[in-house]
Amino acid sequence: MATPAAPNRKRLYQVWKGSNKFFCGGRLIFGPDVASLFLSTILIAGPSVAFCCQVITKLHSHESSHSNASNSDHKHILGLPVLIVTIVIMISDLAFLFLTSSRDPGILPRNSRPPDEAFDVNTPSMEWINATSPHLRLPRTKDVVVNGYTVKVKYCDTCMLYRPPRASHCSICNNCVQKFDHHCPWVGQCIGLRNYRFFYLFISSSTFLCIYVFTLSWLNIIEERKNYNNSLWKSMTGEVLSLVLIVYTFIAVWFVGGLTAFHTYLISSNQTTYENFRYRYDKKENPYNKGILSNFKQVFFSKMPPSLNKFRSWVTEEASEVGSVTIAPYHGISLGGLKEKIDLEIGVRHEFDSNLSVPNILRGLDYTEIENNLQAKERHGLDASDPFAFPVIQHTKDTESLDLSESYSSEDGDIEVARADEERASTTSAHGDGHMQQS
């Protein structure tokens, strides 16, 4: 029996920040457009059930014909084996649809803060605003080596992680997905590493079901034409349901059949839909291509990797962190808080409360300049915890080097130059004395 949870604890799926919808206590995970799953179910099950009803009607008609000697030689192609095969294909198709849409496609766990190793990356993408203000910007990409090829991986601002090779962020589900192929609206789910196998089986079984119903519906019309020696048009009008199924499956097979052919090509070349449209790999440039047989083996016969998220695990709701070092992409560094993470007085490094080491890039900060700025804030009465509050320091001139001493009147704003008046008075007096002596 499960231990009751504390009031401040919830299941991971209850606080998940993605757009997914969970059912059965987090055991089933769907995309936000899960309603499209019901539409796909109707589009598959509706024609299949109608075809099965037609086969059952033909079976009943065939049994009745045995009692009538004139119709005993009529042949009916829609027999019991056809009914059984149709039901098996329909159930398999719906099962693959459900497996594709209800499982974790390979969602990457989110980070609550940018990874520390991001600042240890030696890449030209690392940017600095200027030399005196060490505001760091995370590199948008970094290089990794895959099978001897250099591949760029991008940083995801939403999930705060560097996506592994072949991963991408789905804007509909709001998740980063491993080996992201595309978001399929017909299944209402992302197609990725953990459900691509079932997605291919779903579209291929749908294609086979369309071809199967299309072929048998035509054979039924042809057989009725032979039994009653009617024209083709009269036989078609006599088998209205077969005609409707022919038109429906003919239209549908172009979609699911084309999709199956396209993904067969992608598997043979070990590509995803996203990679095919974005990168257009050539044969020599694709770092993931291992040959046709190995590529198919990797998709269908490799071990299914486990989910990276335990959606039913108990988690504590994240509280707002106070006094932490926040390093966000393209937003600079914010230092300060109730508890300093870097000792500005003696210039030594401390570790975070979570025992995570300070990134190497922070170890090269000019502590002297930061210390002087903080001390200046304290002298001017500013908040030392505000990283953007800096005092305006006015450099005063030496009053002794000035010839004039200016004072400003607080009443009328007139400027009185005291020393200048005294000098003019003394000069006037000296000239007056000189004239008196000459006389």
Q: How confident is the model over 179-220, as pLDDT tens digits?
A: 999 999 999 999 999 999 999 999 999 999 999 999 999 998
Residues 6+ apart with CB under 8 A from 241: 50, 51, 54
Say if residue 143 is in the same domain as residue 80: no
Catalytic residue among 156, 176, 184, 210: 184
Say if residue 204 is in the same domain as residue 282: yes
Say if residue 96 is in the same domain as residue 204: yes
Q: Is the pLDDT of residue 86 over 90?
A: yes
Tell me whether residue 247 is in a domain. Answer: yes
Q: Which domain holds residue 26?
A: 9-106+183-300
Rounded mean pLDDT, 420-433? 52
Tell me whether residue 208 is in a domain. Answer: yes
Domain-ending residue, one of 300, 332, 349:
300
Say if residue 50 is in the same domain as residue 76: yes
Say if residue 201 is in the same domain as residue 87: yes
Say if residue 155 is in the same domain as residue 200: no
Tell me whether residue 412 is in a domain. Answer: no
Tell me whether residue 126 is in a domain. Answer: yes
| pLDDT tens track for 100-148 | 999 999 999 998 888 776 555 555 444 433 344 344 556 788 888 888 8
Tell me whether residue 199 is in a domain. Answer: yes
Say if residue 62 is in the same domain as residue 28: yes
Say if residue 190 is in the same domain as residue 61: yes
Tell me whether residue 168 is in a domain. Answer: yes
Torsional sign, CA 367, 369, 372, 377? negative
CA dihedral 13, 15, 20, 22 (to 10 degrees): 40
Say if residue 120 is in the same domain as residue 102: no
Count up the domains in the chain and report the number: 2
Say if residue 94 is in the same domain as residue 236: yes
Say if residue 71 is in the same domain as residue 208: yes
Say if residue 198 is in the same domain as residue 261: yes
The chain-wide mean pLDDT, for the chain, equals 75
C-beta separation of 269 from 295 below 8 A: yes
| pLDDT tens track for 318-348 | 533 333 333 333 333 333 333 333 333 333 3
Question: Is 190 part of the annotated catalytic residue set?
Answer: no
Tell me whether residue 140 is in a domain. Answer: yes
Tell me whether residue 317 is in a domain. Answer: no
Q: Which SS3 state, helix, strand or coil, does residue 147 take?
A: coil
What Rg value do the Cα atoms of the chain yield, rounded?
A: 39
Domain-ending residue, one of 238, 270, 300:
300
pTM of the model: 0.68
